[in-house]
Structure 1
Amino acid sequence: MTASADALPRRQAGRLATTLLASSLLGRLPQAMSALALVRIVVDGGGGYAFAGALTAGYVIASTVGIPVLGRLIDGTGRPRAVLLVAAALSSVAFVEVALLATAAPPAALVCGVVAGFASPPLEPTLRSLWPRIMAPGRQLARAFSADAAAQEVLYILGPLLAVLAVAALGARGGVLVMAAAGLVGTALFCVHRLLRPRPAEAGERVAHPSALRTRAVRTLVIALVGGGLPIGALTISAARFAALTGAPSLNGWALAINAGGALTGALLIARFPLRTPPERALRGLLLLLALLYLPTAAFGLPTVVWLAGAFVAGLALPPLLTQVFAITATAAPAAALTEANGWIISAFSVGIGAGTAVAGALTGAAGTAGAVAAVVGASALALLGAGLATPGRLAA
């Protein structure tokens, strides 16, 4: 599969991209709503925070494992529509069971949460594997990747807000049911287009191809993105620590929202002014920049306005970085394993964010502000190490 083989005329490609992107965002809402909705259904039902955390963690970890597995299944069968729809149905049913069992049978609800996570339809990697078939190579494809990165930031800004509104209007159980419905409806709309039909001519090639992780460029991106996710995950804890030090707990949420706003700004900028440097060369510098921009968030003595401005600036580098990652994956990963490759990329980034949050939380709990400082500095240092590994030679197709 080549980028030029299936690229559509500009206007048709633009309409199709908008449709696929919008439906994929609807289908991915459960991922953005889950943290708040799953905690609320447990706590509002009288459960403890320990179980709420276990339920959320089970869903997230299972999703991280399931995305590349289902992506490989799509590549192996050549039937993305069937895999996506079955996964969405299974995940939605599991969410309904979580809504019914969270207070009545917590162990069963935990199992259902894991099933819902593992069966999360891999819409994001599937969409990324479609871009080279829709868009002409070069500037048009780069803008598609930029729009994809911007949409991801919008999703994680709107997701928690929609979760709050759903819980307020329908109760905690209703919030989880809204997640189930959004995932199923969004996936169904995404699968309507003919691009999701089976491609039997490629089925044999897909089945025979080894895992995308056998490709050096994919392995390098996975390592680099685990490192890149660490400072982003650490911000969740450093923002909470800064809010506690200033005596304004609400600053925690504002800091994360402002950081997401910075990322959205970075996505709009990279879409308007795409880099002329080849992605294999640009990625290393952008990962280095991301690591350095998060360092000021360890300066807890800064005035509030300055610290929040630092959180905004820290978000700017992420979408340009992801845009280069998408572009490299599209050219360096085997065409028969492209969905799986994108799945590993997404999971690696999620692992980095989760690990950054977990380690920062442990260090801050053990050593207070000094631990939070160490967590941010350490996360940035590991991101720099990832940048050192991401050489153009390792990322070449």
Structure 2
Amino acid sequence: MTGAPETTAAPPRLITSLLATSLLGRLPQAMSALALVRIVVDSGGGYAFAGALSGGYVIASTVGTPLLGRMVDRSGRPRAVLVGAAALSTAALLGLAALVTAVPAAAFACSLVAGFAFPPLEPTLRSLWPRIAGGRSLARLFSADAAAQEVLFILGPLLAVGAAAAFGATGGVLVMAAAGLVGTGLFCAHRLLRPVPAPAAHAGDHPSALRTRAVRTLLVAQVTAGLPIGVLTISAARLATLGGVPALNGWALAFNAGGALTGALLVARFPLRSAPERSLRVLLLLLAALYLPTSVFGLTPVLWLVGAYVAGLTLPPLLTQVFSITARATPEGALTEANGWVISAFGVGIGAGTAVAGVLAGAAGSGGATIAVLGASALAAAGATVASPTRLR
């Protein structure tokens, strides 16, 4: 069966603290793109390897997240899965920091392990919300979650820049490792994190969330939505190189997240009236169009930053619709996995955008970065054609 599971009321302070601990644990996701690019570039490496390292981490996490989410659903023991994953991911990040200049191939392998083992905090949290609230309260929780995540993605790039300035090229990666381990521990200690419903006796009673057509359609939409955002990491780094101000790339990503925070606050205050299945296509088309100005490197840095801010506006409303559809269309026993796949698809788009843009920028400079932005926006628009209301119901 589908639909929201039985809900239980929770005090707002407990909901706030649960969200806060998950955000601390998810801080490495907000820092990874810039921290992994900076650890390479600041050590004298090239953009191609930087893009491969960052993209490899993100893509590996998109593979690990739904698989670890399925482990949570099947075992009913989220704490055990999360703690074990956090320990392995932290160890791999420390290995990456130690080997990035001495043995680049080993550092790349560490990035894959760290990404794959990143604890599935976000899908676990998103599967908890329907058990905590329902109806309009659930929609507000999704909106608040999106707003808080954008605050995270404002602070993450700035923290990566500050850590690199304070502790050297490896500083951002070391802070990533510490935040992920501490945040996961606090999340697992929270009283609202309860065991998930008892798994069925037979594996056949827990079919994969991918058997749901709405989930498969959301995967396509999420991959294409992530492409322009992944490209922004490299195009912002290119802007910083052209301007001779390394901190510009951190500010560009922070401005983009600031626009997304504005979008999250607006959708929380003025919820969309149309059904999520109908709104998603329009929002994805808007996202594709709003990233186009970031392909113009002839703009002054101020105008480019404004373009990055405006580009972020539609992402939280889009994600709010995505997770509303996921909660309504997925059986409860597969909800953590479904959220994992949907989150992972977005990460695949981000990682692929970063990796391809890194190669293009390394080969053709600003022209290559421009091509990457235009191509990513075109593919996002194409993805909107797949996300029809019929397929999402």
1:191-248 deviation line (CA, Å, top 9, x unaligned)? 1234433346344477622211111101101101111112222333444555666776
- 8 Å contact kept, 1:75–1:206: no
1:86-118 deviation line (CA, Å, top 9, x unaligned)? 111222233333444545655544433322221
- AA of the residue aligned to 1:263: A
Question: Partner of 1:277: helix, strand, or coil?
Answer: coil
Q: Tell me what 2:130 maps to.
A: 132
Q: Tell me what 1:95 maps to.
A: 93
1:19 to 12, 17, 20: 17
1:337–1:188: structure 2 CA closer, same or farther, 3 Å change rule? Answer: same
**CA distance in structure 2 between the partners assigned to 1:109 and 1:350 by the alignment:** 20
Higher relative CO (CA 8 A, sep ≥ 6), structure 1 or 2? 2
Q: Tell me what 1:265 maps to.
A: 262
- 8 Å contact kept, 1:95–1:116: yes
**CA distance in structure 2 between the partners assigned to 1:249 and 1:165 by the alignment:** 12
Q: Tell me what 1:119 maps to.
A: 117
Q: Tell me what 2:183 maps to.
A: 186
Check if 1:284 corresponds to 2:285: no
**CA distance in structure 2 between the partners assigned to 1:103 and 1:272 by the alignment:** 48
- 8 Å contact kept, 2:56–2:351: no
Unaligned runs of 5+ in 1: none
**CA distance in structure 1 between the partners assigned to 2:270 and 2:377 by the alignment:** 26
**CA distance in structure 1 between the partners assigned to 2:355 and 2:174 by the alignment:** 28
- AA of the residue aligned to 2:29: Q
Check if 1:74 corresponds to 2:108: no
Unaligned runs of 5+ in 2: none
- 8 Å contact kept, 1:221–1:390: yes
Check if 1:148 corresponds to 2:148: no
CA RMSD of superposed structures (Å): 2.9
- 8 Å contact kept, 1:3–1:135: no
- AA of the residue aligned to 1:392: P
**CA distance in structure 2 between the partners assigned to 1:71 and 1:62 by the alignment:** 14
**CA distance in structure 1 between the partners assigned to 2:286 and 2:235 by the alignment:** 19
Q: 1:308: Cα distance to partner? A: 3.5
1:229–1:177: structure 2 CA closer, same or farther, 3 Å change rule? Answer: closer
The count of aligned residue pairs is 391
Question: Partner of 1:178: helix, strand, or coil?
Answer: helix
**CA distance in structure 2 between the partners assigned to 1:160 and 1:77 by the alignment:** 35
- AA of the residue aligned to 1:394: R
Question: Partner of 1:197: helix, strand, or coil?
Answer: coil
**CA distance in structure 1 between the partners assigned to 2:276 and 2:258 by the alignment:** 24
- 8 Å contact kept, 2:31–2:160: yes
Higher mean displacement: 232-241 or 255-264: 232-241
Q: Tell me what 2:378 maps to.
A: 381
- AA of the residue aligned to 1:114: L
1:47–1:319: structure 2 CA closer, same or farther, 3 Å change rule? Answer: same
- 8 Å contact kept, 2:3–2:330: no
**CA distance in structure 2 between the partners assigned to 1:329 and 1:180 by the alignment:** 30
- 8 Å contact kept, 1:217–1:332: yes
- 8 Å contact kept, 1:77–1:207: no
- 8 Å contact kept, 1:30–1:179: yes
1:104–1:375: structure 2 CA closer, same or farther, 3 Å change rule? Answer: closer
Higher mean displacement: 281-290 or 227-236: 227-236
- 8 Å contact kept, 2:62–2:116: yes
1:222–1:195: structure 2 CA closer, same or farther, 3 Å change rule? Answer: same
- AA of the residue aligned to 2:183: G
**CA distance in structure 2 between the partners assigned to 1:273 and 1:171 by the alignment:** 44
**CA distance in structure 1 between the partners assigned to 2:71 and 2:364 by the alignment:** 45
1:354–1:208: structure 2 CA closer, same or farther, 3 Å change rule? Answer: same
1:351–1:78: structure 2 CA closer, same or farther, 3 Å change rule? Answer: same
- 8 Å contact kept, 1:88–1:184: yes
1:204–1:18: structure 2 CA closer, same or farther, 3 Å change rule? Answer: farther
Q: Tell me what 2:26 maps to.
A: 28
**CA distance in structure 2 between the partners assigned to 1:173 and 1:310 by the alignment:** 30
- 8 Å contact kept, 1:2–1:132: no
Structure with the bigger percentage of helix: 1
Question: Partner of 2:176: helix, strand, or coil?
Answer: helix
1:312–1:206: structure 2 CA closer, same or farther, 3 Å change rule? Answer: farther
Q: 1:32: Cα distance to partner? A: 2.3
